[in-house]
Amino acid sequence: MKIFRVLVINPGSTSTKIAVYDNEKSIFLKNIKHSNEDLEPFNTVAAQYEFRKEVILNELIQADIDIERIDGIIGRGGLVKPIESGVYAVNEALKHDLRVGILGEHASNLGGLIADDIANSLPHAKAFIADPVVVDELEDVARVTGCPSMPRRSIFHALNQKAVGRLFARTRGFVYEELNLIVAHMGGGISIGAHKEGKVVDVNNALSGYGPFSPERAGTLPTGALIDACFSGEKTHEEMNKLVNGNGGLVAHLGTNQAYEVEKRIKAGDKHAELVLSAMCYQIAKAIGGCAAVLKGKVNGIILTGGIAHDDFVIKYIKERVDFIAPVAVYPGEDEMTALMQNGLSALREEVECRVYE
């Protein structure tokens, strides 16, 4: 079997994770932390581009990785235009939208740009992104709200949801496209998707929209109360945004974004902490039930994933309320590096056809 060498680049707000694989075998993995002092000189995320690229190259050199042998480089997809799930070869249109941040500024926008730049310096390397958070496969009926100017938008943990969906299918002798699944990704944000034969036909906007509240996000709020808060004069536009994305959820109630810390408080007898975490789990279970309705009750499996899937309290609470719908599988954590590698290998092996971003 031909050995393909793949470099994976996953930029986060204060770190850049990189990994090198020879086929599925990991030969190098590094989580590069960026201090406030490192990032302070840059006014925007886009301005960090050269800095982050050089840090990556230096780490590869220090690890004696022969970059000339790299066949493919895959970066975490950023906030581009809504697109279908899949692997995308980096092209000029994609690079333009990553640079300008067409749907917003985020460190993940740098993934495809750095991948392309490094690939262009190598003899035969190709650059890709895969399953960014803006993957949009919603059915039309799922987009409509009571305000025509405010349609529902698909922003969710597409990379991990798709990866665990494929893993669930593969370990049971099926292919992902044959199954109806409900996947709940539970991390700093929470997204619950209805996967209908390979497409996420309904999912909540996990960034700053609706759905269950999460460790850092407020989720669905009473509309009237939210309007009153916006016009009360007590908070600025920026402060209101922070209220729903960053300072909401567990942070607002309990002053922490760590579910395991809340679970420790519960074990120590904190009844308020138990109520708040129960409420978050209750909302997750309700959203899973809603996805079951989307799939007309024909559900092959429910998958609980993300960092919070390590917490026994959370898993037990949700299972008790949804396992009547379908068997529940738990895949704790979020292995984005492996998911990106698998997508890159599939493209290099021509097991999937690369999509064209337009």
Q: Which of 80, 117, 153 minimizes the C-alpha distance to 357?
A: 80
Average pLDDT over residues 329-350: 94
The DSSP element (H or E) to which 50 belongs, if any, is helix 49-62
Backbone φ and ψ of 206, nearest 5°: -85, -5
- Tokens of residue 253, six digits: 């109630």
Average pLDDT over residues 63-84: 94
Same domain for 327 and 343, yes or no, is no
Q: Is 10 within a domain?
A: yes
Q: Is the pLDDT of residue 109 over 90?
A: yes
The DSSP bridge partners found for residue 6 are 21, 72
Same domain for 225 and 87, yes or no, is no
Burial class (CB in 10 A: 0-12, 13-18, 19+), 265: middle
Asked if residue 206 lies in contact with residue 191, where contact means CB atoms within 8 angstroms, the answer is yes
Same domain for 56 and 129, yes or no, is yes
CB atoms within 10 A of CB 280: 25
Same domain for 47 and 172, yes or no, is no
Q: How far apart are the first and last CA of the chain?
A: 34
Residue 106: the pLDDT is 84
The interaxial angle of helices 223-230 and 237-244, nearest 10 deg, is 150
d(CA 209, CA 155) in angstroms, rounded, equals: 9
Q: Is the pLDDT of residue 12 over 90?
A: no
Same domain for 128 and 162, yes or no, is no
Helix (H, G, I), strand (E, B) or coil at 223: helix
Q: Which of 292, 84, 53, 105 minimizes the C-alpha distance to 184?
A: 292
Same domain for 319 and 172, yes or no, is yes
Q: Is 144 within a domain?
A: no
Number of domains in the chain: 2
pLDDT in tens, 304-318: 999 999 999 999 999
- Tokens of residue 154, six digits: 């698909």
The DSSP letter of residue 48 is: G
CATH number, residue 25: 3.30.420.40
Region at 173 (left for phi over 0; alpha for psi -120 to 50; beta for the rest):
left
Same domain for 299 and 168, yes or no, is yes
d(CA 163, CA 138) in angstroms, rounded, equals: 18
Same domain for 163 and 293, yes or no, is yes
pLDDT in tens, 167-221: 999 999 999 999 999 999 999 899 999 999 999 999 999 887 899 999 999 999 9
Q: Is 153 within a domain?
A: no
The alpha carbon dihedral of 116, 57, 86, 3 has a sign of positive
Same domain for 328 and 340, yes or no, is no
Q: Is 275 within a domain?
A: yes
* Mean confidence (pLDDT) of the chain: 95
d(CA 186, CA 332) in angstroms, rounded, equals: 9
Same domain for 317 and 344, yes or no, is no
Same domain for 104 and 23, yes or no, is yes
Q: Is 354 within a domain?
A: no
Average pLDDT over residues 70-80: 94
104 alpha-carbon distance from chain centroid: 15
Residue 246: the pLDDT is 87
Confidence of residue 18 (pLDDT cuts 50, 70, 90): very high
pTM for this predicted structure: 0.90
Q: Is 29 within a domain?
A: yes
Same domain for 252 and 200, yes or no, is yes
Domain that holds residue 290: 158-332
Q: Is 287 within a domain?
A: yes
Q: Is 357 within a domain?
A: no
Asked if residue 186 lies in contact with residue 307, where contact means CB atoms within 8 angstroms, the answer is yes
